[in-house]
Amino acid sequence: KSQKLKEVRVDLNEIEPIRLQKALSSSGVGSRREMEEWIEAGLVTVNGKKANLGDKVGPHDRVMVKGDAIKLKWPDRLPRVIMYHKEGGEIVTRDDPEGRVTVFDRLPQAKSGRWVAIGRLDVNTSGLLLITTSGELANRMMH
């Protein structure tokens, strides 16, 4: 059954438009808040026109950031969820200014989107951590 789930894909023509800043952050361009700042600063265009906060984009829109074309990643696959055994000493953050090992350093590259931890464990704590490629799923499970 899990093999079938891996093969299920979504037709890109059926994807509903989503907020531009969400599409950009899901594609790894930057954080959602950073994308909002860039949109407000006029650094983002959609189909040749200056983007505004609240604009929505679909798979067939052309998006440029700071003059560079961006290939948006769309969730054409079901979200991936992995169980990860966090060791003591690893931290649950994407970037650590102190250079410590993060759980994300040890994960395989996500094919679409990026990995999001569902919850956190303290640096000295070891245990089970759920990680997904769906920010929406992570948010629903945490709240």
Active site residues: 122
CB 107 within 8 A of CB 135: no
Q: Are 135 and 112 in contact (CB under 8 A)?
A: no
Rounded-to-integer distance, Cα 119 and Cα 54, Å: 28
| Residue 33 token pair | 């808040």
Strands 68-70 and 63-65: antiparallel
Asked if 124 and 112 count as a contact pair (C-beta separation under 8 A), the reply is: no
Q: How far apart are CA 52 and CA 44, in angstroms?
A: 8
